[in-house]
Each structure stands twice: as C-alpha cells, then as structure tokens.
Amino acid sequence: MSAPLDFYFDFSSPYGYLAAARIDEIAARHGRGVNWRPFLLGAVMKTTGRKPLAAVPLVDEYMRRDLPRSARLHGIDFTLPQKFPTMTVAACRAYYWLREGDAGLARKVAWKIYAAYFAEGQDIADAETLLGICAAAGVDREKLAAALQDQRIKDLLRRETDAAAARKVFGSPFIVVDGEAFWGDDRLPQVERWLQSGGW
C-alpha cells in the first residue's frame, strides 16, 4: 500500500511539534507520504472534557521538564514559548489556503510556523508575525492576508476540524496509518513498526 499517513496536529501542541519534526522521515523510510492535517484541538476537547496539559497542576510542571528532555534526545530545537498555549486559527487557515495551490509549499510553511513558535518563541497568533513567517517562506503576503479573512477559507478549516472530530481524533499529535490510530509523539516507534509490518 502507498496511501499517505494522516498526521493530525494543533499548532499549539508541543508534542505535535516533536512529532512534526520526525514524521515525514519515518514515513519516507517506508515509501509513504504524509498528509499534514492541522486542526483546532480546543474544539475537539469539548467532547472529551479535558483541559490542556498546561492547565493541569503537576502535569504542567512535569511537561515543562519532559518536553525539553524529549526534544534533546531527538536533537530537536525546542523552547516552550512564553505565551503558551496560543491561538492557532490563523495558522490553520494559512495552511489550508496554501494547500489548495501547492501542497508541498503548505507543508514547508507549516513546519516554518511550528518552528517559529516552538524553537524561536514567535507569537504565531499575531497576524503580522504569521504573515512575516509565511512571506519569508515565499508566500505572497497580500494574498495570504486576504485569504485569512475569506469566509470560504474559514469554512474550509471548520470542515477539516469537524472531519477530525468525526474520525474521533481527540489529541495532538494523532496519526492514522491504514485506518490504525496512534495518539502521541511517544507512539512514533509503534507507527514505524506498523509501517514495517502492517500490524502485529
């Protein structure tokens, strides 16, 4: 089989970022592509009733140690941003608008946005900041600014988030390989194993 993996993530999810840094390479080792599918985790959390990790006592403290430790282990540049979590609606809209014209560019820009937030601490919720990140990656700034306000693009993101919810995606990162669901950055070894063997 050569269907791409579905890689669901929220741009404000640090474990999603750690997975984003590695998922394409893992898939490529097994001749697969990756369909990057950012969505709004907050909307899905209304179903689970769960709070963001940063809002949970003790878990938040642990996460602030676990994240840089896990990032170092994989050689990924990482600093938890001062403003965390943040709003990711604009980042998602930018991605889906770009994907309509050039999926490769959209994928490249998605990574730039993620890295701007989690490696450089830029506030990706700020429209000017986001436009600057995308423009530096070769995106037409004026067209993107218009797209971010376009009702059609707003609806497109809503449909994508609804589609994630319908597929019972409840966390970030969330990876689906040939119908098999894996939740969390720490499931990447199992994802790779599944790609190798088609199951166990």
Contact with a second copy (CB under 8 A): which of 1, 2, 31, 58? Answer: 58
| Host H or E run for residue 22 | none
Examine residue 70 and tell whether it contacts a second copy (CB under 8 A): yes
* Residue 50 in the binding site for a second copy (CB under 8 A): yes
Q: Are the CB atoms for 17 and 88 separated by under 8 Å?
A: no
Q: Does residue 143 belong to the site contacting a second copy (CB under 8 A)? A: no
Q: Which is nearer to a second copy, 65 or 152 (CB)?
A: 65
| 77 makes contact with a second copy (CB under 8 A) | no
| Helix (H/G/I), strand (E/B), else coil: 82 | coil
28, 62, 121, 128: which one binds a second copy (CB under 8 A)? 62
Question: What span, in angstroms and rounded, lies between the C-alpha atoms of 55 and 38?
Answer: 22
CA angle at residue 72 from 67 to 73, to 5 degrees?
100
- For position 189 contacting a second copy by CB under 8 A, the verdict is yes
Using the rule CB under 8 A, which residue among 1, 2, 57, 179 binds a second copy?
A: 57
Name which of 104 and 179 has its Cβ closer to a second copy: 179
> Are the beta carbons of 185 and 14 closer than 8 angstroms?
no
Select 126 or 186, whichever has its Cβ closest to a second copy.
186
Buried (b) or exposed (e) across 42-57, using 16+ Cβ within 10 A?
A: eebeeeeeeebbeeee
Q: Is 31 near a second copy (CB under 8 A)? A: no
83 makes contact with a second copy (CB under 8 A) = no
Fill in the DSSP letter of residue 31.
Answer: T
Decide if residue 152 touches a second copy (CB under 8 A): no
User: Are 19 and 189 spatial neighbours (Cβ–Cβ below 8 Å)?
Assistant: no
> Is residue 170 near a second copy by the rule CB under 8 A?
yes
Sequence-distant (6+) residues with CB within 8 A of 170 are: 44, 45, 47, 48, 50, 183
Least gap, CB of 40 to a second copy (angstroms): 16
| Site for a second copy, rule CB under 8 A | 47-51, 56-59, 61-62, 65-66, 69-70, 72-73, 168, 170-171, 181-184, 186-187, 189-190, 193, 200
